Amino acid sequence: MTHADDGLVSHAPPGADDLASAVVAAEARIAAAGPEYGDPGALRRDLAGWQECDLGRWMLCTRGWDGYWTRYCIGYDRDPDEATNEVEHFFLTRSPAILATRERYGIFHGLLAEHVTTGSVALSVPCGLLEDLLSLPGAADADALIGVDLDRAALVAAADNAAAHGLTDQCTLAAADAWRLTDAEVVLGDVSVYSTAVGQRVDVLTSNGLNIYVGDDSRVLDLYRSFHAALRPGGVLIASALTPPTHWDLGDMTEADLTRARGLNLINDVMWANYRTPETTRDQLEAAGFTRVEKYPDSRGIFPTFVARARL
């Protein structure tokens, strides 16, 4: 999840900040927090509990997810009595944005299954562990499953994941910036497969939230233009965008849970909080050359999915 000018945008590089200094920064945010974040004592208890699990330590230090943690969070299915960390369990099963992320993954899976079929060429940017394509029922019959990420650790893990699925032969993995897909280093598969694919031969391109790490609307528009350039005429983009909290339907959630989730967002200080209305996303996609933009909302209107066609 990257932009070449700034490096990784989805998380700080591991080791960029040690846990002790990250905790000091979180404590300062708690000390300055308003009442909407809840009781300071409860916030400090959550901060203490968050430091006791691997996910909490990772997020405190890096302020985001990588491919491994994305798959971990989406696939988390422990019952409360099986949870090894109560704060982690709350975060992954009751925080609105995380619930929407997990629901969005299911929506993506269903839509991708319609398009990744016999003979298709599919591209995931950023690919993480490439689980979005490797898990599809039609993956084995696709001509090519291509993953792009600038995080080298993600590409190594994606190669291992492809082998575990028995789909190494279908896969091509490349280190590339999402804004410059033609400038890539292929690390698994055939270079010619990659170069042919991104030269307007991709049938379906999926991007599961890179835009939420980018605050500049012009950069997001350039990202969509990069995606459009990789697709064949009539090819399908499946993407998503995080809507402003004023658009969220949280009537089924308790005020206590919402306050605690807000407090955890304060503690984590994540880099993914860049919001856009559905209308803005539609306008950006159309400005980038896409047509027939369709929206598939999640149940709370937090993280809608958009399906758009590259102009013929």
Residue 3 lies in a domain: no
Residue 56 lies in a domain: yes
pLDDT attached to residue 12: 57
Same-domain check for residues 304 and 261: no
Residue 4 lies in a domain: no
pLDDT attached to residue 79: 87
Same-domain check for residues 229 and 252: no
Smallest CA-to-CA distance from 136 within 168, 167, 104, 172 is with 167
pLDDT along the chain (312 residues), means of 10: 45 66 97 96 98 96 91 91 92 96 97 98 97 97 97 96 97 97 96 93 94 95 98 98 96 97 95 93 98 98 98 92
pLDDT attached to residue 106: 97
pLDDT attached to residue 270: 87
pLDDT attached to residue 122: 98
Same-domain check for residues 86 and 152: no
Same-domain check for residues 207 and 115: yes
Beta bridge partners, 176, equal 184
Same-domain check for residues 70 and 203: no
Both tokens of 45, joined, read: 């208890």
Residue span of the structural domain in which 186 resides: 101-243+274-310
Residue 53 lies in a domain: yes
17 and 159 Cβ atoms separated by less than 8 Å: no
Distance CA 109, CA 275 (A): 23
Same-domain check for residues 85 and 115: no
Same-domain check for residues 192 and 304: yes
238 and 204 Cβ atoms separated by less than 8 Å: yes
Same-domain check for residues 171 and 48: no
Same-domain check for residues 162 and 83: no
Same-domain check for residues 115 and 188: yes
Same-domain check for residues 113 and 234: yes
pLDDT digits (tens, 9 = 90+) for 257-291: 999 999 999 999 988 889 999 999 999 999 999 99
Same-domain check for residues 239 and 252: no
Looking at the 3D structure of the chain, how many domains does it have? Answer: 2
Residue 2 lies in a domain: no
pLDDT digits (tens, 9 = 90+) for 89-120: 999 999 999 999 999 999 999 999 999 999 99
Q: Residue 178: what residue type?
A: A
